[in-house]
Amino acid sequence: MTDVLQRGAMRLADPATAGRRVRRRLAAERRFRLYGLLAAGSAALFLVILLGTIVLQGVGAFREVQVRLDVVVDGAVIDPQGTRDPKVLQAADYGALVRESIRSLFPDATSRADRRDLGRILSSGADLVVRDAVLSDPSVIGTTLSIWVPASDDVDQFVKGRIPRDVPESDRQISDKQIGWIDALSSQDRIRSAFNTTLFTAGDSREPELAGVWGAIVGSFFTMLITLVISFPIGVATAIYLEEFAPKNKWTDLIEVNINNLAAVPSIVFGLLGLAIFLGFFGLPRSAPLVGGLVLSLMTMPIIIIAGRAALKSVPPSIREAARGIGASPLQVVFHHVLPLAMPGMLTGTIIGMAHALGETAPLIMIGMVAFVVDIPSGITDASTVLPVQIFLWADSPERAFVERTAAAIMILLAFLVAMNMVAVYLRQRFEVKW
C-alpha cells in the first residue's frame, strides 16, 4: 500500500502529468462555457424567431384598407317623413345608399353576379359608417357625402399583398373582375391604407375587418379587477398569519404543503371547480368577469401567499427584536415594522401572479368565457371574454384576415404582460431594502 501511495504521489508531483491535468481541466471549463453560450444563444434565437413571426404576421392588422365613396344621402330613402327623428335615422336602410354609390362608379356592372361581386369589395359594415356620419350631422341629408368606408377582408388582404394576383383565379378569393375594379379605384385615389382604429374600439365580429379587441380588453380589466380585489388581501393576510402568528404544528405544516401543491395544480382544475361551484351551485352568470375573477383568484392566491411569506422571511429578525425591545405588541411589530418592509416583495409577487392569470385560457373556457360576445361589457356580470380567449377564438377562424388579427392580439397581450412585469421590476428596485 505504501508503494502504491508513493507512486501516486510521484505521478502527481510529475510536472508533465500535472500540466496535462490542468490543460484537461481548463479545456473542460471552456467546453462548459461554450455549451452555456450555445444554449443561451439558441434560446435567444428561437425567441427572436417567435416574436419576429408574430410581428410580421400581425403588424398588418394595425392598418386597414378603406374605399372612398360619394354617397348621395337621399332623404326619401332614409327619412321619408323629413322628421329627422334619430330613431328613424337609426333604422334607415343605409345599405341601399352604399350599394348605389359603388355601382355608380362602375355602370358597366349590370348583371346580378357582377353587382354581387362589386358589393363584396366593401365591408358589410360600410353602411354603419355612413349611418354614424348621418346621425352625427343630420344636415348632410340631401347632399353628397364623400366618406371613407372599410373594404372587405379579402380586398384588405389583397391590397396588403397577402393574396397574390399572379395565381390562377380559382386559387384566390378575388376574381379577375374584382381585381380590375380595385385597380380602377386605386387609380382614382379611392383606396387608401389608414390606421385601424376599429381594432381598438370594437368588440368581436364574424367579419375580420370589423373585429376588435376592445371588448376583450374591457373583459380582461374587469376580470383582473375581481382577481386582485379577492386574492391580494386574502393572500397577504394568509401569508402574515402563517409566517408571524401561526403555531408550528402538524396542522400548519399540512396547510403549507397544500398551499405549495395548489400553486402547481393545472389551471384547468380551477376551471372545473368554478364550473361546479360558482356556476352549478351558486348559479352565478355564465361567461361573466365576476366568475372569471373568482376562478383566477383561486389560482393566483397560492402564488401571492408564497411570495408574501418569502418577503416576510427576508425581513431581518433584528427588526422584530428592536420593535419588541421598545414595547411594541405583536400586531404593532408586524403591521408597523415588518409589513412595510415586506410590502415591495409582496407587490412584486402579486403583479407576477396577476400577469400569470392574465395569460390563462383553460379555466375561463370551462366557465363559458369562450362565447362569441359582440357587445362591450359594462359591468362584472355582463357576458364578456378576455384577451387569451379572444386569441383562441380568432385562431380557430378560417378567414385569412383573422390570422393577422390573431397575431395582433398576441402582440397586444404581450405588451400588457411586459408592462406588468416592468411595473414589478420597478417596484422591487424602487422600494426594496438591501440588508
Q: How many domains does the chain fold into? A: 3
Over range 368-374, report the average pLDDT: 82
Over range 117-124, report the average pLDDT: 90
Alpha helices, DSSP H only, in 59-208?
A: 75-78, 86-90, 94-105, 112-119, 126-136, 153-159, 176-187, 198-201
Residue 125 belongs to a domain: yes
Same domain, 300 and 345: yes
Closest CA to 210 of 159, 164, 149: 149
Asked whether residue 158 carries a pLDDT value surpassing 80, the answer given is yes
Asked whether residue 14 carries a pLDDT value surpassing 80, the answer given is no
Residue 206 belongs to a domain: no
Residue 207 belongs to a domain: no
What's the whole-number average pLDDT of the chain?
88
Model confidence at 85, pLDDT cuts 50, 70, 90, reads confident
Asked whether residue 163 carries a pLDDT value surpassing 90, the answer given is no
Same domain, 105 and 219: no
**Whole-number pLDDT of residue 79:** 82
Model confidence at 8, pLDDT cuts 50, 70, 90, reads low
What lies within 8 Å, CB to CB, of 360 at 6+ separation is 267, 296, 299, 388
Same domain, 378 and 396: yes
Same domain, 426 and 348: yes
CA distances to 11, 145, 209, 267, 407 from 414, in Å? 60, 40, 22, 20, 10
Same domain, 362 and 393: yes
Question: What's 241's domain CATH number?
Answer: 1.10.3720.10
Same domain, 94 and 160: yes
Which H or E run contains 404?
A: helix 400-431
**Whole-number pLDDT of residue 191:** 93
Model confidence at 1, pLDDT cuts 50, 70, 90, reads low
Same domain, 311 and 418: yes
Between CA 425 and CA 420 the distance in angstroms is 9
Asked whether residue 77 carries a pLDDT value surpassing 90, the answer given is no
Same domain, 181 and 233: no
Asked whether residue 10 carries a pLDDT value surpassing 60, the answer given is no
Q: Give the range among 92-96, 238-242, 299-303, 424-428 with minimum mean pLDDT.
A: 424-428
Asked whether residue 281 carries a pLDDT value surpassing 70, the answer given is yes
Among candidate residues 165, 198, 231, the one where a domain is terminated: 198
**Whole-number pLDDT of residue 6:** 58
Same domain, 382 and 400: yes
pLDDT, tens only, 183-242: 999 999 999 999 999 999 988 888 999 999 999 999 999 999 999 999 999 999 999 999
Same domain, 110 and 241: no
Over range 394-400, report the average pLDDT: 85
Asked whether residue 430 carries a pLDDT value surpassing 80, the answer given is no
Model confidence at 162, pLDDT cuts 50, 70, 90, reads confident
Over range 36-62, report the average pLDDT: 92
**Whole-number pLDDT of residue 305:** 92
Cell of 160: 396588403
**Whole-number pLDDT of residue 425:** 80
Asked whether residue 431 carries a pLDDT value surpassing 60, the answer given is yes
Residue 204 belongs to a domain: no
Residue 399 belongs to a domain: yes
Same domain, 185 and 269: no
Residue 208 belongs to a domain: no
Residue 301 belongs to a domain: yes
Longest CA–CA separation in the chain, Å: 120
Asked whether residue 5 carries a pLDDT value surpassing 70, the answer given is no
Residue 209 belongs to a domain: no
Q: Are 210 and 123 in contact (CB under 8 A)?
A: yes
Between CA 252 and CA 101 the distance in angstroms is 75
Give 11 or 26, the one with higher predicted confidence: 26
Q: Give the range among 111-125, 246-260, 375-389, 421-435 with minimum mean pLDDT.
A: 421-435
Over range 279-302, report the average pLDDT: 90
**Whole-number pLDDT of residue 372:** 82
Domain range holding 143?
Answer: 62-198
Same domain, 282 and 193: no
Model confidence at 265, pLDDT cuts 50, 70, 90, reads confident
**Whole-number pLDDT of residue 189:** 92
